[in-house]
Structures are given as C-alpha cells and as structure tokens.
Structure 1
Amino acid sequence: MFGAQIIHQHERYLGLPPLVGKGKKKAFHQILDQVGRKVAGWKGKLLTTGGREILIKAIAQATSMYMMNCFKLPDSLCNELNSLMRKFWWGQREKERKLAWIAWEKMCTPKAEGGMGFKDLKAFNLALLAKQGWRISQDTDSLAHRVFKAKYFPDSNFLEAQLGKNPSYTWRSLVVAIGVLKRGLR
C-alpha cells in the first residue's frame, strides 16, 4: 500500500548474518561457497607444495576468520572446509580420489613438531571465541562487556556466566568458549 518492499531474507551486516536461527549451516554456508570458489579457481597441479601451503594458509583458512571471532561455526561446516583444503593439498579434483599420505590431524600440528602448521578450524574457532571472552572479562568499560553483563551475567562475572533464557547465538558461542578460557587461565 505504501510502496515498501517486503524483505524475505535478512541482509548481512559487516559480512555477518544478523540472525542465526535453527539453520546454522545455512547461515554460514557463504563461507563454504567462498572457499570452494577460491580453491576451484586455483590450478593446484601448476603449484609447488610451498605455493599450495601459502594459498591454504593465507586465503582458505583466513576467509572464515572474521566470522569465527563472533560465532561458533557448526562442526559439520568446519569438517567440510577442512575437507576442501585437504583435497586441494593432495591434488584431488571433483570426484577423483587420491591417496593422502599423512592424516590431516598430523598436518595441523606445528612445523616444529613435524606437521605443516595448518589450522584445525574447530580448535581455532574456539580459540578466537576464547580470545573474545578474555577481552570481555578484562575490559569492563567496553560496550560489549556492558551489554553482555546487563543481559546475561548481571550478578556475576563473565567466567561464572550461564547460558540464560533465550540467548543470542553470539552469547551461545561465547559460553562455549568459557570452558576453553578457564582451562587456559593461570
């Protein structure tokens, strides 16, 4: 009647989904699409192993970093991203299967321990969320701390916070990282 458009899908804000409902994999599927397009565009057979290593570390693993700072990505999405990188590393194309000479978990160990230094995306996601939790717990004057404290832990500190009623997905993600943060505290 007024000429306003009906929005069927919420747009993204700063590249992040504004609402993450029950379809978490769908909300973060953009990452898989981006990495998949980039990996498909690379000519893996023309690159040296050093070139493949740099592309995986600098592009494929860094693409999802911004979202990992704010949200816990679904484990299935992390597994699919790891699979894309693993296939690119070993030179697999589409339906082709090639032999992986070393387990991906071994490839994700630091170079000093005999691995390649690739990131395990699940563990890296939790580490980034724990870093955000540390910032919230230490910088009590920040806007993020004040908002989360008012809504989720008004009578305690961040490390003692509970999930609460009707939490946002950002808060759910940070609560998962509290355990990691507690294990790392000294």
Structure 2
Amino acid sequence: MFFSKNVSQQKKEEVSQSLGTIQVATQVKYLGLPMVITRSKEQVFGYMNDSIRNRMNSSKNKLLSQGGKEVLLKAISMVMPVYTMSGNKLSNKLCKEVTSMFANYWWGEAEGKNKMHWCSWWKLAKEKRVGGLGFKDLQNFNKVLLAKQVWRLISKPNLLVSKVLKAKHFYRDSIFKCKIPKNVS
C-alpha cells in the first residue's frame, strides 16, 4: 500500500498492522513501470532512455550490417516503450531523445563522433511502400496507443477500469470534454 507523505509514521504502522500481511510500498516498479508517477515524467520515464541506449550500445551490436541494425531497431528498441506508451503520454522531449538515439545508431559513429545522417529520420520512418524503412514515429505511435485505450473506455463502459477512470476523471462529461490535469497518465 502507499501512503501520502502527510501521514505520520505511527498511523502508517497502525494501518499496516490492522491489515495484516500488506506491506508499505516505496518507489518500486511493477511490470517494468514505476508504481508512483510524479509530476516530472522525464524523470520517471528516463529509464527508457537508459534501457534503449544499453541495448543499442552493446558490443555485439557494433558490428551489425544495416539489415541487422534495422531488425534490432524494429524488434527490440521500438518495442520496448510500447507497454509504457499504451498507458502514458510521453513528453515530446523524451520521444525526440529516443528518436535521436535511433537515428544516431542507424547511421553509426566513427572515432566517437556520429556519422553524417544522409536523410532525415522522418523519411526513414515512412512506410516501405512509399520509400521509407517502416520505423515508427514514437509521438504518433504513442497517440495511437492512447486512442486505443480511449476506444476501449467508450466501447466497454462496464469494465472495472472504465468505471474507475470515469469516476476519477470524467464523471460529469464525456471523455472528450473533460479537462485532464498534467500529472495524470
């Protein structure tokens, strides 16, 4: 269980003892996501940058061909943030940083400096049938995943999650008319 920082230590212990085996939780992760999301999403989701950077900078990945880099970017690095993005709107800054890492990895580096980018990432992110390589635009992909959640709330209003979110965020109006605070997912 979580307690507000305004709850005294004595009250925390009383509640914990009365509930039995339930433990007080601290800032931990559950299914790879932080259990408490603070106001600074860059700080909370910064682990994504580190995780993606570690995957791409592995010594095994330095010698990959362009085809191998494409597979790595699509299969690993672009799939890693999907779970996070399906329930949270990532900041534009974070999406741009991750996209920049993808582009720098794609074009490579020599002697510690990034090589020249021969075309923009946005051209590479186009579908293959129109001349791109089919990489995902993270900002648009994030919006699509969140829209899928909204559709689920609308089409299945009897689900527990739909009822809880409606009661908390848009109990008076529709989901399209409610004003969402900046610190919610």
TM-score range, shorter chain: 0.7 to 0.9
Specify the SS of the correspondent of 1:159: coil
User: In the alignment, what sits opposite 1:73?
Assistant: 90
Stretches (4+) displaced over 3 A: 42-45
Q: Which runs of 5+ in 1 are unaligned?
A: 171-186
RMSD: 2.4
Tell me the alpha carbon deviations over residues 130-184 of structure 1, each in whole angstroms, 9 at most, x when there is no partner: 1111111111111111011112222333233332xx67522xxxxxxxxxxxxxx
Q: Could you say which structure has the higher strand fraction?
A: 2
- Structure 2 unpaired stretches of 5+: 1-8, 14-23
- Aligned residues between the structures: 165
Going from structure 1 to structure 2, the CA distance change for 1:89 and 1:134 (only over 3 Å counts) comes to same
1:146 to 163, 172, 176: 163
Structure number with the bigger relative contact order (C-alpha 8 A, sep ≥ 6) is 1
Taking only the aligned residue pairs, the percentage that are identical comes to: 35
The 1:160/1:12 distance shift into structure 2, 3 A limit, reads same
Task: Give the structure with the larger helix fraction.
Answer: 1
The structure that has the greater radius of gyration is: 2
For 2:182 and 2:65, the matched residues in 1 are separated by 47
CA distance in 2 between partners of 1:58 and 1:99 (Å): 24
Q: Counterparts of 1:147 and 1:14 in 2: how far apart (Å)?
A: 21
Q: TM-score, normalised by structure 2?
A: 0.80
Deviation at 1:8, TM superposition (A): 10
Q: Taking structure 1 as reference, are residues 108 and 67 closer, same or farther at Cα in structure 2, changes over 3 Å only?
A: same
